[in-house]
Amino acid sequence: MSKEDLDGLTATRRWAHKRMTEDGSGVYQAFIQMERAAFSDGALKKKEKELIAIGISVRIDCESCMQWHIEQAASVGATYEEVFEAVEVGIEMGGGPATVSARFALKVMDAVFSP
């Protein structure tokens, strides 16, 4: 996964966010509020919640989700090793098909954690 590929996914996500916001989607705004609430520090800190989301993203094979949550986890201090273990949990929960999803996650991890 090249930086350009990741930048393309980010650009598409930003475009869609802007479009949904400008078009006045109440459903999308409610989702954004729910996301903020779900990832706010509570009994679990944001980093732990991002690691959970990585495992789920691998399990459901959502590439954009994997990218977002790996980047978010790294931004709040998650290490490569912590993200790797979250990917492993996703594999355990999803079996063989999740090993395919994990390939994308590993590419994102290389891009995010490479110097």
Structure confidence by residue, pLDDT tens digits, 22-79: 999 999 999 999 999 999 999 999 999 999 999 999 999 999 999 999 999 999 999 9
Residue 73 has what pLDDT?
Answer: 98
Residue 97 has what pLDDT?
Answer: 95
Q: What is the distance between the alpha carbons of residues 80 and 112, in angstroms, rounded to a whole number?
A: 9
Please indicate whether residue 7 or residue 48 has the higher confidence score (pLDDT). Answer: 48
85-107 pLDDT, tens digit per residue, is 999 999 999 999 999 999 999 99
Provide the residue range defining the domain that includes 102: 3-113
Domain count, the chain: 1
Cβ-contact 100, 61 below 8 angstroms: yes
> The domain that contains 25 carries what CATH number?
1.20.1290.10
Q: Return the number of other C-beta atoms located less than 10 Å from residue 35's C-beta.
A: 11
Residue 4 has what pLDDT?
Answer: 86
The overall pTM is greater than 0.95: no
Does position 115 have pLDDT exceeding 90, yes or no? Answer: no
pLDDT band at 5 (very low <50, low <70, confident <90, very high): confident
